[in-house]
Structures are given as C-alpha cells and as structure tokens.
C-alpha cells in the first residue's frame, strides 16, 4: 500500500540573506578578477556546501593571516566580521584585503564604538566564542565590553561604575533577546540601547516564518550547519512552537525513521544555506512519496548590499565608453 501524500510547507523567507549573498559574491568575483588562489580568513559563511564549492574554485580557507604563504594574493574577511587587529595585521603583512563583513554587523561595530566614545561600558548580548561576538568585542579595547549570554547572566555580571549601553549579536533569537533586554533594563534603568534592534531583518523574518509554519506541521527540517547561529535559532523557534524540529545539512543526513507517520512537514533554511539544498530535501522526499508543496510567505525581502568598489561591475555608461 502506497504511503499517503506528504504536504510540505516551505517557510518564506528562508535561505540566503543579503549579507551572505554579498559575502559569497565577493569571493566569487575576487576569484574571477584575480584568479586562484584567493585566501579567506575563517569560513566565509557557516555552510559546508558553500565553503566546499568555493574551495573547488580556488578559495583557500585559513584561520589566521600568518598562514598565508603568498602575500601577493588577496584575502577576504568573513561575513561575521573581524576584530580591528585583523585588518591591522593584514596591513602590516602587506596583504590586499577585501572585507565581506555583513553591513548590519558593521553597524553593530560602529554602535559599540560610538557608545565607547561617549564613555559607556558596552554589554554585548551574544554567544560565547561565536565569530561575530569575537569581532564585535575586538572593536574596542580589552575590558570595554562585557558579554551577556542569558537572562541569568544579567544578575551575575558586575560592570564597572558609570554609564552603560547594550548591543547584540545579529543572529539571536528575537524572543530570547527581548527577555535579556528586559532584564537589563530592569537592573540598569538608565542603560542606553540601539535606536532599532540589532538583530538583523533576515534573522527576524526567518524566525517569524517558522512561527507561521510550525503550528501547521508535525515536524520541521531546518537546512543549515550546526555551527550556524541563525540556523540553530530557527530550530529552537520551531520547538518553542511545539513542533519537532531537526537541523540537517544535506538530504543524505535524513534519518527516515524520524519522519514515519509525518504527513505535514515544514522546511526552512538558515541564512547561509543555499536554495539548492532545500530543493535537494524536497527531491529526497519526492523519491519516496507523492509530495504537495505549499509556500507560506510572511515577508518579502528586497534588501541588496553593495559590493566593495573594487569588485563592482562598471556603470553602463563607463562600459560603453570602453
């Protein structure tokens, strides 16, 4: 007896955000313009499929700049941002660098610097050891930032006397962060915050889409990497809505026993997961069952970030003049 049809609800928005798309384009265009190898400090984005694809085209990933043997080659800084010491080191070593930091992460960096210049100690809401957190803390002198990871941390921290400000990692859970901010404002009523939340539009939109899909399905797949903060938050959001959720990198990772008896399945993807991996998931289920796909749209995204000047296409007029 054939299994019943499987209804797949696709969350939208999902997958690549403007910051990730820009970062990947920077590496691709650097390879096209300068040839291989192009060095990349840290994973350009947290997705093995993307990283391996760029590696096959000539990108070489390193953790530190002193690992680069040929200093005539370009080096790209990842989308997560880097401490100030990294571009300073690149300049000292004579490296030509391209900064793929997401502009929304750069905005957090500038806000932290502004608070510091105004004499405020900065409380950074984020996850210990995440590259974005390391990069943001590295914008200011040591000791100028205190990391806050949870509501419980708010009661434990002992910031220096004087004015305070907070900022946040861009890929956090919207709900968790709101709780931490509320706790900070309760303990430190005069704390300064951002004019608008630092959690990026794409993180917020993807979490809202999951909230719309999760109550309608029996299980949800989040396509993404285990070291991707925004992907892990999507899984947590689905679970908070009462839905069983798993984080998978590829269709080959599917444990089919987990989906026995599931007739309504949700699928989303973290901001660093390309759409081809979502299609791969759907095809894997379609090979076993009749699938009916519905897209649940909760927001339209039109944000596009400019590439660095050295990598942009020439303007049409300039092209004609040539």
* Catalytic residue IDs: 132
Is the Cβ–Cβ distance between 205 and 230 less than 8 Å?
A: no
d(Cα 49, Cα 228) in Å, to the nearest integer?
13
- Helix (H/G/I), strand (E/B), else coil: 273: coil
Q: Where are the alpha helices (DSSP H) in the chain?
A: 18-34, 48-56, 85-93, 103-117, 131-137, 151-156, 174-187, 201-213, 229-240, 275-286, 316-321
**Residues 171-185: b if buried by 16+ CB within 10 A, e if exposed:** bbbeebbeebbebbe
d(Cα 38, Cα 59) in Å, to the nearest integer?
5
Query: Which residue in the block uniquely carries the two structure tokens 């680069």?
Result: 68
CA-based nearest residue to 243, from 224, 261, 220: 220
CA-based nearest residue to 233, from 222, 243, 218: 222
DSSP state of 189: T
Q: What is the strand order of the sheet 291-297 is part of?
A: 244-248, 219-223, 264-269, 6-12, 291-297
**What are the CA-CA distances from residue 10 to residues 2, 76, 79, 93, 99 (Å)?**
24, 33, 26, 47, 33
């Amino acid at each position: 007896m054939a299994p019943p049809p499987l209804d797949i609800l696709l969350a939208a928005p999902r997958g690549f955000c403007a910051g990730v798309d820009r970062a990947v384009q920077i590496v691709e265009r650097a390879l096209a313009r300068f040839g291989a190898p192009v060095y990349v400090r840290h994973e350009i984005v947290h997705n093995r499929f993307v990283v391996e694809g760029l590696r096959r085209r000539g990108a070489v990933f390193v953790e530190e700049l002193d690992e680069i043997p040929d200093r005539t080659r370009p080096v790209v800084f990842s989308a997560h941002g880097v401490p100030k010491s990294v571009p300073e080191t690149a300049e000292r070593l004579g490296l030509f660098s391209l900064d793929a930091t997401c502009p929304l992460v750069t905005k957090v960096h500038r806000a932290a610097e502004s608070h510091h210049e105004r004499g405020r100690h900065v409380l950074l809401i984020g996850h210990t050891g995440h590259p974005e957190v390391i990069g943001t803390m590295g914008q200011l002198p040591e000791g100028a930032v205190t990391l806050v990871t949870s509501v419980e941390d708010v009661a434990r921290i002992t910031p220096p006397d004087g004015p305070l400000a907070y900022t946040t990692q861009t890929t956090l859970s919207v709900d968790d962060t709101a709780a931490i901010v509320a706790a900070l404002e309760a303990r430190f009523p005069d704390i300064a915050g951002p004019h608008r939340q630092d959690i990026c539009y794409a993180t917020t939109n993807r979490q809202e889409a999951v909230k719309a899909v999760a109550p309608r399905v029996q299980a949800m797949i989040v396509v993404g990497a285990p070291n991707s903060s925004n992907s892990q938050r999507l899984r947590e959001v689905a679970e908070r809505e009462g839905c069983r959720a798993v984080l998978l990198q590829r269709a080959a990772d599917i444990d089919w026993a987990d989906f026995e008896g599931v007739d309504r399945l949700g699928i989303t993807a973290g901001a660093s997961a390309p759409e081809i991996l979502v299609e791969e998931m759907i095809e894997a289920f379609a090979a076993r069952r009749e699938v009916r796909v519905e897209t649940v749209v909760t927001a339209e995204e039109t944000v596009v970030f400019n590439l660095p000047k050295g990598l942009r296409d020439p303007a049409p007029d300039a092209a004609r003049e040539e």
